[in-house]
Each structure stands twice: as structure tokens, then as C-alpha cells.
Structure 1
Amino acid sequence: MFFKNYILTLLIILNSGQQINSQTTCQTVLDLIILLDGSGSIGSASFAQAKTAVADLISRLNVGPHKVHVSLLRYSSTVENSYIFNKVGSNQMKDQIIKVVNGLQYNGGGTATGEAIQRARSVCDAACRNSEELVPRAVVLFTDGHSNSASLVKTESELLRDRTQAVVFSVGIGSGINIQELQLSASQPYSKYVLQLSNYLQLTQVINQITLIACNVPAFNEPGVVYKNEVEKDTYQFYQMSLKGFRSGLGGFVEIAVNMTQGYVQVFTSTTEPNPTSDNSKKKLVQRRIATTMTDIYMEYIPPNTEKFYSSFKGSSNINQYTFVTTLTSLNDANIG
């Protein structure tokens, strides 16, 4: 199982167009919450390796008030707010966060995974940036065994993914991992957001891949809302949207209206790949153009029972600034957003 998940993860990273190297850094804007298991089954030596991996992950982030915000929760029998970003991110200094990580003490105890996920939701609801800013929200969960309550993991993870709109990347370490419980906590597809490792030494060796996946989680966008964003040349901005209205019946259409204020973008879409790029998805062609407003219209049919719609904008010029709005039209009834 480990080998299969590990290879799948590597293939996804290779297909994303990102270069794998020993010191990958994350330049994206991101709200990141790290959940670190400190329960009794880990042991002090493995917990020290886990801290090394987390410190390595943070060292690769472009931490700052307008870039990556980081929060760290350690959990065992209870949940501890080890480091929490504030609303404006003014306390976001990388060296300070790494110092906190290195100073974490190993306490042992139970495995309150559900409570940790619940706390992550509360932290993000209070401190993550507003959804209108299109800042992706990622939760990276490190765990080595069964939780105290699988039902609480399921309930709180659903709320974290659907209501708080965070992408959850679950990393299981050791022989005591319950793969079903990992999947309960993680976002889909599991091939991308579930990783199983045999020990904590391996965790320190794959933190590069974990960084790449966490830093490329798509931001949630809502239908009918006009968003403003920008993207650098030859890089991507990733988005995702829930398609609850298309889960039955005849399906419908997604229309994306993109208004360029500077530069130009290429649009890629998928209903299965969270990071559609030129390597794994077809570029969308402009269906029509509104010349008076320089707005390009892209349209795609969505079959019934489709859960998510993913899109990405790739920058073509040195500076690419745009606004966009997505409209959903269900064939069952009428426009739903």
C-alpha cells in the first residue's frame, strides 16, 4: 500500500509541471494549518523526526503577512495551539515558527484526531483570509495510528472540507495506520491527498513532495461571484467549485467569463484533476468574445453526478491581471448561480 500511494504521489507531482529538487520552495499565497500527532504510540525518537520534517516544510514556505500564513496544532489526548496566525498575519515570521516547532515537547497520550480537526476548523474560521481573496486553505494532518473516535474524524472532516472549504492532505506514518480513517479525513482524490509512509524517517525524506502538494491546493470559488486575481508568467492559479446542483438529472453547463485588465491567461479545466495544467488537461478554447469589455467566455458541459469542477489560469505575459465569474446552468431547471 505504501509503495502504491508513494508512486501515485510522485506521478502526480511530475504531471503537475513542477520540478522536483532537494529544496523546493513554495512561493504561493496560502493559509496552512499543520496538525502534528504527539500521541503515545509515536515515541520520543519518532516525534523528534516529525519535528524535523515539519520544520523543513515550514522552511520551504514564503511565510509573510501577504504570502503563507501558518498555524501549528499538536494533539495527543488533547489539542494544543502551538502557533496560531492572527487575522492580518503580522506574527508570521518563519524563524519564529520554526523555533516553536523545535521546542515542542513530546507528551504521549491518546490520539484526539477528531478534536484536532475540529480545532483546525475553528482556527481557520476565525483567522483564515476571506474567501473573496481566493487564498487556498490547506490542512496537513500527520498521524501514526487509530484515532480515539473515527466518527468524530468523519463528521469534523466533512465540515472542514465543505463548510470551511479547506483541502485536507492526510499523511499516515507507521504500521498502525488505518487507511479507511485516513480517507475519512482527506480530500479527494485520495491518490493525491492521502500518503502512507512506513516510518518517520521516510517522512523527513518526502517533505519535498508534501510541500508541492500542499502549495498547489486549489482555492474555492463560488458561482456568480466576481473575483479579481493575477498570475505570473508560466505559472498557474488553481480553483475548485462544488457542483451540488449537478449531482442528478441531466447535468448542465459551466461558463467562465474572464476579463483581462493586463496580459493574457490560458484556461484549463477538469472534473477529476485538482491541478489541471497543459500536461494533464486540454486548454479551453474561447467560445465567444465580448469585444467592448475584452471578456472571453469559456463554456463546458458537465455530466450529472459530477462532484467538483476544477479550473486553472496560466499566465502568458510577465504580468497577468484579470477578473472572472463562473455561472452554472442546470439542464434540470435554470441558472443556479
Structure 2
Amino acid sequence: MGEFELIRRFFASAACATGGEGIALGIGDDCALLQLPPFDQLAVSTDSLVAGVHFPLDADPYLLGQRALAVSVSDLAAMGAAPVAFTLALTLPEARADWLEAFANGLCAMARGCGIGLVGGDTTRGPLSLTLTVFGRVPAGQALTRAGARPGDLLCVGGSLGDGAGALPLVLGERQDNSAQAQYLLQRYWAPQPQLDLGQALRGLATAALDISDGLLADCGHIARASKVALLVDAARVPLSAALEGLFSREFALNCALAGGDDYRLAFTLPADALASIQADWPEVAVIGRVEAGQGVHLLDASGAELQPPALGYQHFGSQGD
């Protein structure tokens, strides 16, 4: 199967490549054309996923297609952007029709759920890897960023944490479990749901935001540095799912939430008087700490004493804590 036949058969004709709001021209020309409303800004993010690093070599292609797009779209949610389009650069060791069909179906299922269209990309031969670039739109001046948190703000997260990291032993085959709790964790890992609506609702309210991909403490460190403040995290208030606590010890579950990564929930800072309006529509939003003058991220116990945190999250280069 040649490159162009592969593109036509599995991607150009896919349901997620039929255009949509903001897409003036999709797959089939040298470039796609995106049409933004007046006074909107374009939000752009790129993620690369490599077999053996970000996902197992034998990963189910349907689940991989879902996950690859979800983790990329989550960056748009973190900026308060509405999704418009995405591109896919796919490197394959071989062109297997069954693998490509399942992957494209998973990709399109997540694209439909997120309201985003495939507008182009590239294919080449080599070790399996995926590079996705997502495009979103946000009213000028209203994008959420990591800078802007202020002393007195609340530190919040968009729901329970740790499920993605808790699923990893199941994904890697280190633990066998067919319980409903295990299935819940696997669903959270393979099909995380970008918090797009929450991100857009936080425009004009949140003072800083990001999505949790590398672990709560590590990612909160980005807000602390960009905003030049200290973030105080109350360990007892970090929300954990019943499934995670049902399968693992409280200590392991909490470490997954604090440092495991792969959550793709939003973490954000918010003035206290804005909390009620957000929780009215998103009751799963939890306050886990506060912003103070200072620097860094500090993990506290119920008495307010500082705890030694677990490793601060995944890094591709360098040792933990660099």
C-alpha cells in the first residue's frame, strides 16, 4: 500500500475529515485553510507520542487513536480554547490495513466527541510514532495561561486525580484484574476526556491554568514559576476516585494523584468569590490548596506541616527534580 492510497483510504475519507466550523479547506491540498471569527486568536499545540516511551508497542490501535488525540486536545482545554482542527504525522514500521482502520476509527471517535476535524498531516516509514498538532480559537486576550495566579487565590482541580497512573500496571500487564474498578481506570487512561467546556467557562475567572499531564506537583510547579508565587497543596483534599482507592492502598493512590501524571484534568487558580459559580455547573471541581506569596509548590498535611513530596513527575531528559 502506497503513502497516498493509505491517506485516501484511512484518513482523507474518515468521518472526522469532512470539515466543520472554522475549516475552510481540509485534506487534499498543499495546506489546510482555517477561518477564525474576527478578534479570535489561534491556539496551537503539538504533541509527539513514541512507541515504547508513551505507549506499549502492542497497544490496541483503536485505544491508541483515542488517547493520542485526547491528550493533545487537552492542551486546548487548558488555554480555554474551542477546538477547530488537527493534523497527524504518522510514522509506521509497516502499513497494515487492520491496524490503520482500527487506529483511524479510534481517532475519529475522539474527534467527534471533542468537535475537532482532521485537516492534514504526513505519513512515513520508521519506528511507530505519532505527532499531532491541534488548533483552537479563543477570544483575543481571554486565553488562560500559567502566569497570573495571585496570593489569596484558591488552587483547584477539575476532578479526581491519579486514575491514569493507577491504570499503568494494568496497561503494562504487571497486574491482571477484570473488576469494574480496573475497567474504570483503564477507561480513564485510554480515553481521557479533555475538559473543554470547563476551560472555556474559566475564561475571565481563572487567574492561571494548565492541564495535568506530568503529575499534579510537577505541573503546579509550572504555575508557581510563571506566576512567581507559592502554591500550597493540602494532601488530604486531593480528590481520589473510588476505583483507585478500591484497588490500591491510600498511600499508593495518593502518590499516583500527586506525581503519576496522565490525568488530563485542569488545575487552575481562582478567586474565592468565583468558586460557587464554577461548582454549580462542575460539582466535581475540588479546592486542593491556595496561593501565597513566595515560590515553589509545598505539600501540607492536615495540620499544615510540610510533607516530603514523592517524585515530582515524568521528565524525558535529566533526572527527577532537575
> The TM-score by the shorter chain falls in which range?
under 0.3
TM-score if structure 2 supplies the norm length? 0.27
Higher helix proportion: 2
TM-score if structure 1 supplies the norm length? 0.26
Higher strand proportion: 1
